[in-house]
Amino acid sequence: MAALDNREFIQTAIDGHRHLDGALLPALHAIQDGLGWVPPEATPMLAEALNLSRAEVHGVISFYHHFRTTPPGRHVVQVCRAEACQAMGASALEAHAKRSLGADFGQTTADAAITLEPVYCLGNCACSPAVRIGDRIVGRVDATRFDALMAELREEATA
Protein backbone atom coordinates (compact mmCIF):
# COMPACT_ATOMS: atom_id res chain seq x y z
CA MET A 1 0.00 0.00 0.00
CA ALA A 2 2.67 2.47 1.06
CA ALA A 3 4.77 1.36 -1.89
CA LEU A 4 1.92 2.19 -4.24
CA ASP A 5 1.60 5.67 -2.74
CA ASN A 6 5.30 6.13 -3.14
CA ARG A 7 5.14 5.20 -6.79
CA GLU A 8 2.38 7.64 -7.43
CA PHE A 9 4.23 10.38 -5.64
CA ILE A 10 7.45 9.63 -7.48
CA GLN A 11 5.69 9.66 -10.86
CA THR A 12 4.11 13.02 -10.10
CA ALA A 13 7.46 14.42 -9.00
CA ILE A 14 9.10 13.15 -12.18
CA ASP A 15 6.32 14.47 -14.40
CA GLY A 16 6.63 17.87 -12.78
CA HIS A 17 10.31 18.14 -13.67
CA ARG A 18 11.03 16.06 -16.77
CA HIS A 19 10.66 19.07 -19.07
CA LEU A 20 13.66 20.79 -17.45
CA ASP A 21 17.14 20.67 -18.91
CA GLY A 22 19.19 18.50 -16.56
CA ALA A 23 16.04 17.26 -14.83
CA LEU A 24 17.53 14.51 -12.67
CA LEU A 25 18.64 16.59 -9.69
CA PRO A 26 15.45 18.66 -9.46
CA ALA A 27 13.39 15.47 -9.69
CA LEU A 28 15.44 13.79 -6.97
CA HIS A 29 15.04 16.82 -4.74
CA ALA A 30 11.29 16.76 -5.23
CA ILE A 31 11.16 13.07 -4.36
CA GLN A 32 13.26 13.43 -1.23
CA ASP A 33 11.45 16.60 -0.12
CA GLY A 34 8.15 14.75 -0.32
CA LEU A 35 9.08 11.33 0.99
CA GLY A 36 12.07 12.10 3.17
CA TRP A 37 14.24 9.76 1.13
CA VAL A 38 14.70 8.30 -2.34
CA PRO A 39 13.15 4.82 -2.31
CA PRO A 40 14.65 2.09 -4.54
CA GLU A 41 11.67 2.06 -6.91
CA ALA A 42 12.55 5.63 -7.92
CA THR A 43 15.66 4.50 -9.80
CA PRO A 44 14.01 2.56 -12.64
CA MET A 45 11.23 5.13 -12.88
CA LEU A 46 13.69 8.00 -13.25
CA ALA A 47 15.80 6.02 -15.71
CA GLU A 48 12.76 5.28 -17.84
CA ALA A 49 11.41 8.84 -17.81
CA LEU A 50 14.72 10.61 -18.41
CA ASN A 51 16.10 8.14 -20.87
CA LEU A 52 19.06 7.20 -18.68
CA SER A 53 20.42 3.84 -17.58
CA ARG A 54 19.61 2.66 -14.07
CA ALA A 55 23.34 2.69 -13.38
CA GLU A 56 23.53 6.37 -14.29
CA VAL A 57 20.66 7.24 -11.97
CA HIS A 58 22.11 5.15 -9.18
CA GLY A 59 25.49 6.79 -9.80
CA VAL A 60 24.00 10.22 -9.29
CA ILE A 61 22.02 9.32 -6.16
CA SER A 62 25.06 7.77 -4.53
CA PHE A 63 27.40 10.63 -5.50
CA TYR A 64 25.57 13.31 -3.53
CA HIS A 65 25.63 13.37 0.27
CA HIS A 66 22.19 14.94 0.41
CA PHE A 67 20.26 12.04 -1.08
CA ARG A 68 19.21 9.30 1.30
CA THR A 69 18.39 5.74 0.32
CA THR A 70 17.00 4.75 3.69
CA PRO A 71 14.08 6.45 5.44
CA PRO A 72 15.15 8.98 8.08
CA GLY A 73 13.73 9.51 11.54
CA ARG A 74 11.03 12.10 12.14
CA HIS A 75 13.67 14.84 12.30
CA VAL A 76 17.02 15.16 10.58
CA VAL A 77 19.65 16.88 12.68
CA GLN A 78 22.88 17.98 11.04
CA VAL A 79 25.93 19.00 13.05
CA CYS A 80 28.54 21.13 11.31
CA ARG A 81 32.00 19.57 11.31
CA ALA A 82 33.86 22.24 9.34
CA GLU A 83 36.78 24.35 10.53
CA ALA A 84 35.03 27.48 11.80
CA CYS A 85 32.74 25.39 13.94
CA GLN A 86 35.69 23.30 15.09
CA ALA A 87 37.40 26.48 16.25
CA MET A 88 34.48 26.97 18.64
CA GLY A 89 34.12 23.45 19.95
CA ALA A 90 32.29 21.49 17.24
CA SER A 91 34.28 18.34 17.91
CA ALA A 92 33.05 18.23 21.49
CA LEU A 93 29.51 18.95 20.30
CA GLU A 94 29.74 16.16 17.75
CA ALA A 95 30.89 13.70 20.41
CA HIS A 96 28.12 14.84 22.74
CA ALA A 97 25.48 14.53 20.02
CA LYS A 98 26.50 10.99 19.18
CA ARG A 99 26.70 9.94 22.82
CA SER A 100 23.47 11.55 23.98
CA LEU A 101 21.47 10.31 21.00
CA GLY A 102 23.11 6.90 20.99
CA ALA A 103 23.47 7.25 17.24
CA ASP A 104 26.46 7.68 14.99
CA PHE A 105 26.43 9.88 11.88
CA GLY A 106 24.05 8.37 9.36
CA GLN A 107 22.07 6.60 12.08
CA THR A 108 18.64 7.13 13.59
CA THR A 109 17.81 7.04 17.30
CA ALA A 110 16.11 3.93 18.68
CA ASP A 111 12.79 5.79 19.01
CA ALA A 112 12.97 6.79 15.32
CA ALA A 113 12.81 10.45 16.35
CA ILE A 114 16.15 11.77 15.14
CA THR A 115 18.56 11.00 12.32
CA LEU A 116 22.02 12.43 12.90
CA GLU A 117 24.12 13.64 9.98
CA PRO A 118 27.38 15.51 9.53
CA VAL A 119 27.40 18.69 7.43
CA TYR A 120 30.33 20.70 6.12
CA CYS A 121 29.41 24.32 6.75
CA LEU A 122 25.99 25.89 6.97
CA GLY A 123 27.27 29.39 6.23
CA ASN A 124 26.63 30.22 9.85
CA CYS A 125 30.33 30.27 10.70
CA ALA A 126 30.06 33.58 12.56
CA CYS A 127 27.65 31.97 15.04
CA SER A 128 29.41 28.65 15.42
CA PRO A 129 29.03 25.84 16.35
CA ALA A 130 26.04 25.49 14.08
CA VAL A 131 23.36 22.85 13.71
CA ARG A 132 20.54 22.39 11.21
CA ILE A 133 17.22 20.83 12.17
CA GLY A 134 15.06 20.34 9.11
CA ASP A 135 15.26 23.75 7.46
CA ARG A 136 16.00 25.60 10.67
CA ILE A 137 19.58 26.71 11.39
CA VAL A 138 20.61 27.13 15.02
CA GLY A 139 23.73 28.98 16.12
CA ARG A 140 26.09 28.89 19.12
CA VAL A 141 25.05 25.40 20.10
CA ASP A 142 26.73 23.79 23.10
CA ALA A 143 25.86 20.50 24.79
CA THR A 144 23.16 22.04 27.00
CA ARG A 145 21.53 23.84 24.12
CA PHE A 146 21.72 20.70 22.00
CA ASP A 147 19.94 18.66 24.66
CA ALA A 148 17.22 21.29 24.98
CA LEU A 149 16.70 21.32 21.21
CA MET A 150 16.46 17.53 21.07
CA ALA A 151 13.99 17.51 23.94
CA GLU A 152 11.88 20.06 22.04
CA LEU A 153 11.85 17.82 18.97
CA ARG A 154 10.78 14.82 20.98
CA GLU A 155 8.03 16.79 22.72
CA GLU A 156 6.68 17.88 19.32
CA ALA A 157 6.55 14.25 18.33
CA THR A 158 4.55 13.16 21.37
CA ALA A 159 2.32 16.25 21.53
Residues forming contacts to other proteins in the complex (CB under 8 A) are: 21-26, 28-29, 50, 56, 59-60, 63-67, 82-88, 119-128, 130, 132, 135-140
Shortest distance, CB of residue 89 to other proteins, whole angstroms? Answer: 9
Number of residues that bind ligand FES (CB under 6 A): 12
Shortest distance, CB of residue 11 to other proteins, whole angstroms? Answer: 18
Burial letters for 89-128: b for 16+ Cβ neighbours within 10 Å, e otherwise?
A: bbeebbebbeeebebeeebbbeeebbbbbebeebebbeeb
- Residue 108 binding result from other proteins, ligand FES, none, given CB thresholds of 5 to 8 Å by partner type: none
Q: Is 85 in the site for ligand FES (CB under 6 A)?
A: yes
**Helix, strand or coil, per DSSP, at residue 70:** coil
Shortest distance, CB of residue 121 to ligand FES, whole angstroms? Answer: 4
Bridge partners (DSSP) listed for residue 116: 77
Bridge partners (DSSP) listed for residue 133: 77, 136
